[in-house]
Amino acid sequence: MTARTEGPQPFRIAADSTRQRIFIAIGAVVAVASLFILVTSVGSYGEAPWRVWASATGVVVGSACAIIFMRMLPEHRWALEVDERGITDNSSSAAPGLIPWDDIAAVYDWQVRQGHTLAIDLKDPEGLQGRMAPHPAANVRARLAQGIPAVEVRVAAFPGSYTVGEVLDAARAYRPKAVKQPRRWKAPKKR
């Protein structure tokens, strides 16, 4: 019998959908309550026509709110994932998604003022931009034009108490040579 060796475990931070779920619930409650008022008010239209119109509006607005926020639910289960494929950033609509290890030149703690963010430098930014959706590609292009890291992930903004160090430890387990020393942001010199 041969011993089975397992690689490192993926590091995952779940996407937060609490806000969307709250607004879905509010929209549904407004729609159902308005529908109830509408059904019970139809017979008394002559006495209070405003009640019918107000409740019909409530059904439309509540339903629209619920539907819009259902569509806004995160399509990905994980906001950030580090695994054998690479680093996947789904933290926002401008996030690049999966960045394969072969495209990553460096991963490091980028210190900006008192904050720490996960920064990713790319080997071929133009090549990766060609495989990205337009919004994330434009974000990478703008960041490179400003002379800052192509991808920046604010780990502290995720729900939970995650640190950049934890993400770097996970990246080190898969690609130790990609993890570099921390770097500090330098303000541009005034002219």
Which residues, 6+ apart, have CB-to-CB distance to 191 below 8 Å?
A: none
pLDDT at 112: 84
Q: What's the sign of the alpha-carbon dihedral 166, 173, 147, 94?
A: negative
Residues of the chain with pLDDT under 70: 1-5, 45, 74-75, 187-188, 191
Q: Which of 107, 62, 69 is nearest to 89 (CA)?
A: 107
pLDDT at 74: 67
